[in-house]
Structure 1
Amino acid sequence: MLLPADAVLASATATSERLGGPGSWLLTLPASAIAGLQVLCRSVLAGIPPTLLGKSEPLTAAVRRMPAGRRYTSLVPTQLRRHLDEEPDALRSFDAILVGGAATDPALLDRARAEGIAVVTTYGMTETAGGCVYDGQPLDGVRVRVTGGGIELAGPTLALGYRLDPAGTETAFAGGWFRTRDAGALDADGRLTVVGRLDDVVISGGVNVAPASVEAALREHPSVVDAVVFGRPDPTWGQRVVAAVVPAAGATPDLPTLRAWVSARLGGPAAPRQLQVVDALPLLHTGKPDRRAVAALTPEV
């Protein structure tokens, strides 16, 4: 990735302005991920050394080590859910918590906000120097458009392209715009809603099914804590919807119940036709679910 320093700095500056000014940052993500790198950049810009969350260290303990004043951190949804269950008071001590890297369930956001936690959803990627759309609104200087259902981004936070990959650069970057592989929509006020990946759609019985929507519906069921949804070839349906779920404590999710639950909310084609119950979802180093590993845990049928 050819990501110039100016793009990273533009992102950090716009974030500081959007959040209400500089403050101290808690680093909970690896610096090898753009979200972690941006925490370091924002800290340099603020002139305040970042606080690092130690391995297995309680969030409460890390917060106590942070300087007084405005406090920020950046989490992926899995971290938000865990800390909300275990240490909500620590989350309430932040002036803003950026949540991104993966789709965040509206129910999780509603729960966090109801408990007085200042969560801010972010959308972006390495190609945009991290999150560049906050709570659906682009940062200053960032432009968003939706073309053919796909989200495109432009502005000072944009990368120059892919190193040693002119063909990939030409495909993804054109005319100052970066063509994401995400599907989205803009409302009348210019607020962006991300509805899933263009290349993750499961076509079951001729109907397009967005895995993110099914995952969100499954997480709303009282017997499910987390879920990953993907497609598998099916001789009857073309593709079948497969769900791997983490059960709530003491719960035993079953396929008929979850099929009925999803069908009532999203329609029959979106209902899973195969269910795998797992103790925990394998994660990438960024904290996002490792979808390939989840698929490997789910047997072919």
Structure 2
Amino acid sequence: MGYGMTETASTVTAKRVDSHLSSGYLLPRRVIKVESERIYVAGDTLAAGYYVQGALRQLELVDGWFDTKDLGRWSEQGELVVVGRADNLFISGGENVHCEEVEAALNQLSDISQSIVVPVVDTEFGTRCIAVVHCDNLPTVNAMNDILRPHLPKFKHPIGYVQMPEHLLSSGIKVSRKAVKTWLRSAQSDFIVIS
């Protein structure tokens, strides 16, 4: 198990599979810094750029660092913990909400096999989230919030649940967040989806 990307010649951190939600320890010849939760990488394995239509397009670096657009932190044991993507973070009533954190809590529930959390307009807090879930019986908001209460603070609880349509499930192993947002907009849902 580990963390990496094409731009870093694959793996940057690695570890044996265990129950901890971490991505492992830094591998040799790689460098990571985490600033304001944002993960930056550098080192000997960093790519020179992207090969596009016969030409090398250099990576965009800031002072020699590549912005992964991933969010994370270091654990007390010195392992990298990836908490989500910068473009999946939204502010609700002044608080940071990571879509992936809410999804992880939902996906641990036995009735839900997959979830995608999407930010929507909220008149009281500016933005809240809804969850598009794949399950046999769509839960009520109150029932789900009772279950989530020990796992997430209230401001991270979805204000609505929508059953995931089958056509989104058949597109591959992982449902696309972009496809879910597009479907919600076209389905005339009661929620105004934020881009």
TM range (shorter): 0.7 to 0.9
Query: Are 1:257 and 2:143 an aligned pair?
Result: yes
Aligned pairs for 1:199-278 (under 5 A) are: 199-247=87-135, 250-278=136-164
- CA distance in 2 between counterparts of 1:192 and 1:281 reads 35
Question: Could you say which residue in structure 2 is the equivalent of 1:174?
Answer: 62
Shift of residue 186, structure 1, vs aligned partner: 1.4
- CA distance in 2 between counterparts of 1:202 and 1:262 reads 19
Residue of structure 1 aligned with 2:9, choices 129, 132, 135: 129
- CA distance in 1 between counterparts of 2:127 and 2:121 reads 4
Query: Are 1:292 and 2:178 an aligned pair?
Result: yes
Bigger CA radius of gyration: 1
Q: Secondary structure at the match of 2:67?
A: strand
TM-score for the superposition, normalised by structure 2: 0.77
Shift of residue 288, structure 1, vs aligned partner: 3.5
CA-atom RMSD, angstroms? 2.7
* Matched-pair contact (CA < 8 Å) for 2:29–2:43: yes
Query: Are 1:138 and 2:18 an aligned pair?
Result: no
Distance change in 2, residues 1:287/1:225 (3 Å): closer
Structure 1's consecutive aligned runs of 4 or more residues displaced over 6 angstroms after TM superposition are 283-286
- CA distance in 1 between counterparts of 2:171 and 2:163 reads 22
- CA distance in 2 between counterparts of 1:141 and 1:284 reads 40
* Matched-pair contact (CA < 8 Å) for 2:93–2:126: yes
Shift of residue 295, structure 1, vs aligned partner: 1.5
- CA distance in 1 between counterparts of 2:167 and 2:148 reads 20
Q: Deviation digits for residues 167-218 of structure 1, max 9, x if unmatched?
A: x944xx1343212211111134431111112232121222111111100111
Question: Could you say which residue in structure 2 is the equivalent of 1:106?
Answer: none
- CA distance in 1 between counterparts of 2:170 and 2:108 reads 24
TM-score for the superposition, normalised by structure 1: 0.52
Aligned length: 176
* Matched-pair contact (CA < 8 Å) for 2:47–2:59: no
Q: Secondary structure at the match of 2:151?
A: helix
* Matched-pair contact (CA < 8 Å) for 2:138–2:162: no
* Matched-pair contact (CA < 8 Å) for 1:246–1:281: no
Q: Which structure's residues are more often strand, by fraction?
A: 2
Mark the runs of 5 or more structure 2 residues left unpaired by the alignment: 16-23
Q: Secondary structure at the match of 1:264?
A: coil
Shift of residue 280, structure 1, vs aligned partner: 4.6
Corresponding letter in the other structure for 2:181: A
State the identity %: 32
Mark the runs of 5 or more structure 1 residues left unpaired by the alignment: 1-119
Q: Which structure's residues are more often helix, by fraction?
A: 1
